[in-house]
Amino acid sequence: MSTEATLPFINETPQESLSTLQNWLDGLWQWGLAFLPKLLVAAAIFFLGWWLSKAITRLIRKTLEKGRAEKAAVSFVCSFSLCALRIIVIISAIAQLGVNVVSIVTAIGAAAVTVGLALQDSMSNIASGILIIINKPFKVGDYLEFEGLQGTVSKIEIFNTRLNTIDNKEIIIPNSRLTVENVINYTSHELRRVDLTYQVSYQSDILKAKRLLMDLVQSHAMVCKDPQPIVGIAGHNESSISIDVKIWCKKDLYWDLYYDMQEKVKLLFDEEGIDIPYEQIVVHMEKQKEN
């Protein structure tokens, strides 16, 4: 291929080169005039959308803080919302410039799917954490039972929920398990029932024992009058009779009432001569007759 064919303007005269440059500048000017409205619209969408995304995020933060959600959870939800909204704003602004955003959205979607598959368990915990924050099946300070484990909720985090046991151990449970398994919330209501069972010997006066227990709970300062206390015979055992006591109290007084009742019932039974039996083995020995 010759040099003249490769560089078609090399043999142009100065006047011809100036004319070519003028035509190119005119074309660029016309393109700029046609592109300017799109650029202005894109800029308006970008700046307005950027401001709106911050305003919406602030509204989300205030809503979650009014619901007393955990700070870490509030921060995550707000950051996630702000990021998602700004991605939408940027894509919308780019679309106004005439750029094909389908390929961009496809690339973002493919990346999201890849990350989602790699972090499937973590994403599940995050989604479950958001559901816990929104639905509020429990909150910080509630006393829960989960798969035989009991404790007070100390933190609701993005990935996990933390419980503190009575003996000051910390239980860390993934949020995804708390949304699909059965969870018992003992403090979701203001009142909580204390279930107690006492053993009385067959030789003791069970009617007297029932009366003593009823008088005790009816006069106890921590026991609620409504619902009414229940005292009844629960069963006949090998060496004792079981008496159930079911009483209601404020949820914060549960353990105080539980331990106080255990002490007072023992002292009361000792004072009134009600025998609390213990397991024993009775051996009968027979003397063989001499021949």
- How confident is the model over 130-142, as pLDDT tens digits? 788 777 888 888 8
Residue 90 pLDDT class (50, 70, 90 cuts): confident
Find the angle CA(222)-CA(227)-CA(231) to the nearest 5 degrees.
80
* CATH code of 156's domain: 2.30.30.60
Average pLDDT, integer, range 63-81: 74
Q: What is the pLDDT of residue 289?
A: 60
Q: What is the pLDDT of residue 268?
A: 95
Q: Does one domain contain both 46 and 70?
A: yes
Dist. CA 134–CA 95, nearest whole Å:
34
Dist. CA 160–CA 154, nearest whole Å:
11
Residue 198 pLDDT class (50, 70, 90 cuts): very high
Q: Which residue has the tokens 């619902």?
A: 227
The closest of 192, 173, 191, 193 to 183, measured between CA atoms, is: 173
Dist. CA 256–CA 173, nearest whole Å:
28
Residue 132 inside a domain? The answer is no
Q: What is the pLDDT of residue 5?
A: 47
* Neighbour-count burial of 143, counting CB atoms closer than 10 A to its CB (0-12 exposed, 13-18 middle, 19+ buried): buried
* pLDDT greater at residue 84 or residue 99: 84
Residue 158 inside a domain? The answer is yes
Residue 62 inside a domain? The answer is yes
* CATH code of 102's domain: 1.10.287.1260
Q: What is the pLDDT of residue 291?
A: 54
Expressed as residue numbers, the domain containing 47 is: 26-118
Of all residues in the chain, the percent with pLDDT exceeding 70 is 79
Residue 38 pLDDT class (50, 70, 90 cuts): confident
**If you average pLDDT over every residue of the chain, what do you get?**
82
Q: What is the pLDDT of residue 6?
A: 46
CB 231 within 8 A of CB 255: no
The tally of domains found in the chain comes to 3
Residue 107 inside a domain? The answer is yes
Element containing residue 247 per DSSP (H, E): strand 241-250
